[in-house]
Structures are given as structure tokens and as C-alpha cells.
């Protein structure tokens, strides 16, 4: 079985109170640090941290929450411009934001939210933005996944680059919900499909991991997913099944070509620490807690 460290285009942007895995950037390399926790503790800690740091469904209160619900119902992206005080920086970023929104008008809706407005407390609490740097823009996919978080200063391209493929959006949402994700890249034309799924299914069947593990399949010939495969550095013409093991908030643990084995997957999880240097991204760190 050949294993290598994937390089996936994601950035972990640390905001005060939340850790947002977003759709552009570079993963840290697997093996940068090694946890001494048991694998089930790693899974439980990752899920608990992500549950604490991920946006939760909230009802009522302010234009921000209403805009999220409206965009989700329309199956469109939502760009949110958060600001606190009027300033040159706020005005400049608001102009950039509006220009990007105009260019994305056929795919996205937008809303401005003043975090100092008591009526917007629900969305400020939802994303943990009470002490986040302002202004700040978020890009949210129709399924609720935060695809981009851009504090203080950003460009039109930052916002327009936050759009992801359907599979990217699904993986991001699962990771932000605290799930371990096996991304299984295979189709009828790839070899070792059954062997590639065996270790993954055995892992998910283990009661220690079943509730915290999701399996996502991706057909490498699906042209809609080409950008995601490019980010993953996986050849759409791969002759063999490829499995990418991801953990919250957005860490690549490993990439496997061909067969997978449960024991190796458990050992890989056991060694995983976090997606961010020093394990400091989320509240109390995004890695396993002792």
C-alpha cells in the first residue's frame, strides 16, 4: 500500500472563539507532531472541539440569521460582511465586498452585519465573533459550511475564490461538524475499489469511531469535481482507488492508494495531532486534549 501526504488547498483561519477551515490554502504536513493519545481519544477530542467551535443552528434574531436561512433555502452562497465601527478600513473593505458580490450575483446573496448591534447577537454568538478582528467577511455554502473567512483585509479574488465543488462543500461541513472523513476517490474504472473500502468500512464499523466517521465518495471523472481533485493533487485519470483521511478542523492525516487496512488507519489517527501548527487553532487548541 502506497501512502503519501496530500497537499489540499485549505487554510485554517483562526478567529477569536472559532476555528474555520476554509477553501483555499495549504494543509500542514501529517507527522509534524505526534499525539500520545489513544485513537479513540483523538476522535472524541476532535469531535468535541469542533462541536464547540463550529457554528450551531440558531433561531431568530437579526438580519444575519435571516439571510443565512434565506440563502440556504435558495441553495445559494451567502457572503456576510461583519463590521463594528465606521473607519477608512471598514469603508475600503466594504467597497471590495460589494464589488465581489456584484460579480457573484448569479451565485450568491449578501448581507451586512454590525456586530455592535444588539439585534445581531444571535449571529455574533453563532460564529463566536465578539472579539474577532473587524471588518471580516465570511463565505457560507448552501449546506452551512464556512468556505472562507477573511479578517481585516481581503480582495475580490479571496471572496470569489471561496466557491467550492459539491464534494468540497460536503467535506467542509462534515469536518466543521466534528467528523472524521474518508474521501474515497474511485469509480468503475479504478482498481482495488473493494480493497480500498475494506479498511475504511472496518474503521467505521468500530464502535469507538462509528458515530464520528463519515465516508464520502467522489467519482474522479466527474468534471464538476475537477477543481477539488486539483487541490488534492489527485489525477482524475487515476487507475487505482485513492483514499484521503481527513480530520477536524481540516487536517489531512494521510492519503492511501489502493488497499486500506483498519489497523493502519487507527495507527494513523493515533499519531495525528492537529491541522494547525502548535495545535492552537481552536478553543483550547484543535488537537487532542489531555
Name the DSSP letter for residue 260: -
Q: In the block, which residue shows the cell 463519515? A: 214
Condensed to tens digits (0 to 9), the pLDDT of residues 172-189 reads: 999 999 999 999 999 999
Reduced DSSP (H G I as helix, E B as strand, rest coil) percent helix, strand, coil of the chain, to 5: 40, 20, 40
Q: Which fold has domain 2-12+24-54+177-276?
A: Glutaredoxin (3.40.30)
Per-domain boundaries in the chain: 2-12+24-54+177-276, 62-160
Condensed to tens digits (0 to 9), the pLDDT of residues 20-48 reads: 434 333 233 333 332 334 554 444 444 44
8 Å CB contact between 67 and 54: no
Three state DSSP letters for 5-70: CCCCCCEEEEECCEEEEECCCCCCCCCCCCCCCCHHHHHHHHHHHHHHHCCCCCCCCHHHHHHHHH
Asked whether this chain's domains 2-12+24-54+177-276 and 62-160 adopt the same fold, the reply is yes
Condensed to tens digits (0 to 9), the pLDDT of residues 133-154 reads: 999 999 999 999 999 999 999 9
> Nearest to residue 159, comparing CAs of 114, 113, 232, 107?
107
Name the DSSP letter for residue 228: H
Distance CA 55, CA 146 (A): 9
Distance CA 156, CA 38 (A): 44
**Domain 62-160 carries which CATH code?**
3.40.30.10
Amino acid at each position: 500500500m502506497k501512502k503519501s501526504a496530500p497537499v489540499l488547498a485549505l487554510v485554517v483561519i483562526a478567529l477569536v472563539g472559532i476555528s474555520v477551515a476554509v477553501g483555499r490554502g495549504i494543509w500542514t504536513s501529517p507527522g509534524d507532531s505526534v499525539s500520545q493519545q489513544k485513537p479513540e481519544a483523538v476522535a472524541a477530542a476532535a469531535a468535541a472541539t469542533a462541536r464547540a467551535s463550529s457554528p450551531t443552528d440558531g433561531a431568530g434574531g437579526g438580519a444575519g440569521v435571516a439571510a443565512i436561512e434565506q440563502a440556504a433555502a435558495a441553495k445559494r452562497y451567502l457572503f456576510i460582511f461583519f463590521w463594528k465601527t465606521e473607519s477608512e478600513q471598514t469603508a475600503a473593505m466594504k467597497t471590495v465586498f460589494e464589488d465581489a458580490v456584484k460579480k457573484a450575483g448569479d451565485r450568491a446573496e449578501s448581507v451586512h452585519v454590525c456586530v455592535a448591534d444588539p439585534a445581531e447577537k444571535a449571529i455574533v454568538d453563532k460564529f463566536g465573533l465578539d472579539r474577532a478582528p473587524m471588518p471580516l467577511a465570511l463565505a457560507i455554502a448552501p449546506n452551512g459550511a464556512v468556505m472562507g473567512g477573511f479578517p481585516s483585509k481581503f480582495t475580490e479574488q479571496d471572496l470569489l475564490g471561496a466557491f467550492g465543488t459539491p464534494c468540497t462543500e460536503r467535506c467542509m461541513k462534515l469536518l466543521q461538524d466534528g467528523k472524521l472523513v474518508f474521501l474515497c476517490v474511485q469509480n468503475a474504472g479504478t482498481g482495488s475499489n473493494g480493497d480500498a473500502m475494506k479498511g475504511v468500512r472496518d474503521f467505521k464499523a468500530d464502535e469507538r469511531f462509528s458515530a464520528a466517521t463519515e465516508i464520502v465518495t467522489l467519482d474522479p471523472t466527474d468534471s464538476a469535481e475537477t477543481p477539488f481533485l486539483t487541490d488534492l493533487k489527485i489525477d482524475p485519470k487515476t487507475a487505482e482507488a485513492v483514499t484521503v483521511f481527513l480530520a477536524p478542523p481540516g487536517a489531512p492525516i494521510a492519503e492511501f492508494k489502493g488497499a486500506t487496512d483498519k489497523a493502519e488507519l487507527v495507527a494513523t489517527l493515533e499519531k495525528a495531532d492537529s491541522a494547525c501548527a502548535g495545535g492552537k487553532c481552536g478553543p483550547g487548541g484543535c488537537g487532542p486534549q489531555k
